[in-house]
Amino acid sequence: MPSRAGCSVSAPEPIEFVLDLPSDLRVIENVIVYLVARCQAYGFGGARLNLNFRVGVTEALANAMLYGNRRRPERRVRVEVALSTARVALRIADEGQGFDPARVPDPTAAENLSRPGGRGLFLIRKLMDAVEFNQAGNAVRLVLNREPPLRRPTGV
């Protein structure tokens, strides 16, 4: 709706939408570009968007394609997005068997530090404000608030 002179432009209404993706790692970069643009329209920016959102969502998509769907392109990754000026919530589901997120070792432990892999889930937990797996372990819900919680340093 066009704004009238003298009236302040109201905040955009919350929206929900769904992306249905193939298990193809090459699509992730463009998906992130698209989602970042959608979030920017709701006032997201700075490190919350460029670091927390981009890396956290990239990790979740990669996990779904690599470990959930075993890179089988016919298996889909469904991304449900709920976006408002307060927060963005995503539910990312794959068609795999799931896993136990409690059994992932700490990649910052001295004995794991020089391992090439194992940092994805750790980064998701560090960068997002809420992370919840379903019981089967093949869907994760991520929440990122537009403003950082006061207890955390900027960008983390």
Partner 1 sequence: MSFQTSKTSGVLVVDVDGQLIVGNRQDLKQRVLDELESGERKFLIDFANTGYIDSSGLGVLVSLSKKIREQGGELRLANLNEDLRTLFELTKLDTLFNISDSRDEALESF
Chain residues binding partner 1 by CB under 8 A are: 25-29, 47, 50-51, 54-55, 58-59, 62, 66, 107-108, 113-120, 122-123, 126-127, 155-156
CB of 30 vs partner 1, minimal distance in Å: 9
Residue 129: which residues within 8 A CB-CB, separation 6 or more?
Answer: 87, 143, 144, 145, 149
CB of 54 vs partner 1, minimal distance in Å: 5
What's the token pair of residue 125?
A: 């937990």
| Distance, CA of 128 to CA of 89 (rounded, Å) | 10
- Asked whether the beta carbons of 144 and 55 are under 8 A apart, the reply is no
- Residue number with CB closer to partner 1 (70 or 115): 115
Secondary structure E strands in the chain: 15-22, 76-83, 87-93, 130-133, 139-145
- Residue number with CB closer to partner 1 (10 or 154): 154
- Residue number with CB closer to partner 1 (84 or 118): 118
CB of 62 vs partner 1, minimal distance in Å: 4
